Amino acid sequence: MTQSTKTDKDYSIYFQPPSLKDAKKRGKEDIQVHYDFSIPEELQGFGKDKYYMIRTYGCQMNEHDTETMKGMLEAMGFQSTDDKQQADLILLNTCAIRENAEDKVFGELGHLKTLKTERPSLLLGVCGCMSQEEAVVNRITQKHPFVDMIFGTHNIHRLPQLLKEAYFSKEMVVEVWSKEGDIIENLPKKREGVKAWVNIMYGCDKFCTYCIVPYTRGKERSRRPQDVLAEVRDLARQGFQEIMLLGQNVNAYGKDFDDIDYRFGDLMNDISKIDIPRVRFTTSHPRDFDDHLIEVLSRKGNLMEHIHLPVQSGSSAILKKMSRKYTREGFLELVAKIKKAIPDVVLTTDIIVGFPGETDEQFEETMSLVREVQFDSAFTFIYSPRDGTPAAAMEDNVPETVKKERLQRLNELLTELSLQSNQKLQNQIVEVLVEGQSKNNPDMLSARTRTNKLVHFKGGLELVGKRVQVLVNEVQTWLVKGELIKKSDKQAI
């Protein structure tokens, strides 16, 4: 790290850019857990009469990081705004998974340049996974020098200090740690709505050849069970109706513990005993989905019968090139185990088409696997090379027109399967958790079944946050519509 000779009290200027070389080193150093986080007293009023805005791109992990940053900013006195013209601080919390995600961020920076020119006092920051990429930070420092601060995924807890540095130094502050960060407990969070995200672990050790996450998020670090359980109990006391357990690979939870034998199935079993109505998790890796976890999930209760299980490809040859470390046959065996234990389970997945070297026959293997598993839905993507990953060095020899045609065919199949699955709900009564108004029709409420299917029905806003029963009377491809069963019909739960 390059640092001026001034003390922190004198607002020293940091310039610590990321290093892909350093990020690729997987050291054996111990991960420390810190319970003593607090906003420094001199910064607790730093945001008085100031407004902040955070634009979030990417996955639920990024959304949860945004909740943490909001919590810290409001503890410093900042207020939230959706108006760029009113904001004194704008942060872009970025995603590095695909190229188009980066394109959106750089496009937004282009728009913000005008705003920064008009209002030089406006602080602009870029954080999240893109900030962990060496090439990205070089591009920002060279072509977007009006950005005030860049920080990464491992040092979000340093936001108050970095804001102080950027504000007083009037120079770009860059602090991106290329080694794994420690685990910081007791960070403030600003959660809204009826659902809450809970990080149970950070990082990933899988090193799929196409994926940048092991470099941007670091190696797997699990939170201690007692800390996770304490947070879930607190959320239950606050009245949250649903929690989503988060990790790049949640079912690797606990593999890094060297003092206790406690894995994801054990955590889910303990959480199932807490009085919170619904518990979900994402994302799973098929390689770590063990029999104990399946047995725990089969008991249901507050553990939902929806599993997101990314397969990425139906071809064993492509899976090997992706370094997924399971075969087509192994994946189908796992699916059979899950369906036997949880007959009414709903499975969703992630699929990449057009991976380097993918033949027509290998793509057809993906199509046949999707038909066999009967996924309810999937996030589907055309392969996007990421600098610094092994796949980026492979010959990207599938023509773009072929990639697009494959994606279209895959999406058509998934549309067909989604409709078939939803048709099974026709004239059925389903339990739903009401999340709020429909985005497209204020007269309708938006809710989710236990299997995460979207349900729209007419009802008052007093039902938001409640679990009710709905009779499904109209089926569409991606949602179903229904009629609220009144209390007199034993509706209330």
pLDDT tens sequence across 265-299: 999 999 999 999 999 999 999 999 999 999 999 99
* 282 and 343, same domain (yes or no): yes
β-sheet with 14-16: strand ranges across: 2-3, 14-16, 173-175, 149-151, 123-128, 89-94, 51-56, 79-80
Domain that holds residue 463: 429-489
Predicted confidence band of residue 9 (pLDDT cuts 50, 70, 90): very low
Domain boundary among 399, 421, 443: 421
Is the residue at 269 inside a domain?
Answer: yes
Radius of gyration of the chain (CA): 23
- Give the integer Cα–Cα distance in Å for 45 and 39: 10
pLDDT at residue 13 tops 50: no
Please tell me the predicted confidence (pLDDT) of residue 489: 53
Structural tokens at position 210 = 């196409």
pLDDT at residue 4 tops 70: no
Domain boundary among 147, 175, 203: 175
pLDDT tens sequence across 382-396: 998 988 899 999 999
Is the residue at 97 inside a domain?
Answer: yes
Class of residue 274 by CB neighbours under 10 A (exposed 0-12, middle 13-18, buried 19+): middle
- Give the integer Cα–Cα distance in Å for 97 and 3: 31
* 321 and 355, same domain (yes or no): yes
Which residues does 55 contact at the CB level (< 8 Å), separation at least 6? Answer: 90, 91, 92, 93, 108
Please tell me the predicted confidence (pLDDT) of residue 387: 86
Q: How many residues does the chain have?
A: 493
- Give the integer Cα–Cα distance in Å for 380 and 285: 17
Please tell me the predicted confidence (pLDDT) of residue 8: 38
- Give the integer Cα–Cα distance in Å for 438 and 448: 12
CATH value at residue 116: 3.40.50.2300
Q: 159 in helix, strand or coil?
A: helix
CATH value at residue 435: 2.40.50.140
For 120, what's the count of Cα atoms within 13 Å in the CB-facing half-sphere? 2
Please tell me the predicted confidence (pLDDT) of residue 58: 85
* 230 and 123, same domain (yes or no): no
Q: Are 152 and 1 in contact (CB under 8 A)?
A: no
For 456, what's the count of Cα atoms within 13 Å in the CB-facing half-sphere? 16
Structural tokens at position 189 = 């969070």
Q: Are 218 and 203 in contact (CB under 8 A)?
A: yes
pLDDT at residue 19 tops 80: no
* 233 and 333, same domain (yes or no): yes
Please tell me the predicted confidence (pLDDT) of residue 28: 56
Domain boundary among 175, 206, 229: 175
pLDDT tens sequence across 440-459: 888 899 999 999 999 999 99
Q: Longest C-alpha distance within the chain, in Å?
A: 73
Q: Are 251 and 213 in contact (CB under 8 A)?
A: no
Q: Are 31 and 68 in contact (CB under 8 A)?
A: no
pLDDT tens sequence across 105-128: 999 999 999 999 999 999 999 999
Is the residue at 152 inside a domain?
Answer: yes
Is the residue at 24 inside a domain?
Answer: no
Share of the chain above pLDDT 90, in %: 81
Please tell me the predicted confidence (pLDDT) of residue 157: 94
CATH value at residue 277: 3.80.30.20
C-alpha separations of 76 from 73, 171, 218, 478 in Å: 5, 22, 28, 42
* 307 and 334, same domain (yes or no): yes
pLDDT tens sequence across 34-59: 999 999 999 999 999 999 999 999 88
What is the pTM (predicted TM-score) of this model?
0.90
* 364 and 439, same domain (yes or no): no
